[in-house]
């Protein structure tokens, strides 16, 4: 047990949920949800939320159980048959789902957004004020 770093694992889950999933994926998904553009981001949102609940369950058993029970009706039929998150399989990373090119593209988009936000802050432009931004980029590698 001494070799396990539970605090570090919890910190990484937290950083992913707030720093990537909530700050970026959900915000980007809102645009697609409003436009009803296909494919829908809902399956990915549900998958990440459900997997995150299973990851968090050892740290927050009561909260994750309550949330999971409410989410269960939106899960695939094989998951709906699972009575409790406590007996659900602990998540295993699917290395085949990693898309390095997509990650680089999203990292570039995030960097552009950070740059625009920093420029707005330096120029004291209110966040509610709409401004036009023009981006000139070379060939993306």
Q: Model's pTM, two decimal places?
A: 0.78
CB 86 within 8 A of CB 57: yes
* pLDDT tens sequence across 66-110: 999 998 888 888 777 888 999 999 999 899 989 999 999 889 889
Residues whose CB falls within 8 Å of the CB of residue 69, separated by 6 or more in sequence, listed in order: 84, 85
pLDDT of residue 58: 92
Instruction: Output b/e per residue, 67-88; b: 16+ Cβ within 10 A.
Output: bbeebbeebeeeeeeeeebeeb
Q: Is the dihedral of CA 78, 82, 87, 90 positive or negative?
A: positive
* pLDDT tens sequence across 2-29: 677 888 989 999 999 999 999 899 988 9
For 24, half-sphere exposure in the C-beta direction (CA atoms, 13 angstrom radius) is 16
Confidence band of 140 (pLDDT split at 50, 70, 90): low
- Decide yes or no: CATH 1.10.730.10 for domain 6-97: yes
Q: Helix, strand, coil proportions of the chain in percent (round to 5)?
A: 65, 0, 35
pLDDT of residue 14: 93
pLDDT of residue 3: 77
């Amino acid at each position: 047990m001494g070799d396990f770093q539970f605090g570090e694992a919890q910190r990484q889950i937290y950083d992913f949920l707030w720093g990537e999933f909530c700050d970026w994926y959900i915000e980007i998904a809102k645009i697609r949800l409003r436009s009803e553009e296909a494919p829908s981001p809902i399956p990915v949102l549900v998958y990440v939320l459900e997997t995150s609940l299973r990851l968090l369950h050892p740290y927050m058993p009561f909260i994750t159980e309550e949330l999971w029970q409410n989410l269960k009706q939106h899960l695939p039929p094989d998951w709906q048959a699972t009575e409790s998150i406590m007996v659900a399989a602990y998540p295993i990373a699917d290395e085949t789902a990693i898309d390095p090119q997509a990650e680089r593209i999203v990292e570039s988009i995030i960097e552009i957004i950070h740059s625009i936000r920093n420029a707005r802050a330096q120029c004291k432009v209110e966040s509610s004020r709409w401004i036009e931004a023009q981006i000139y980029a070379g060939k993306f590698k």
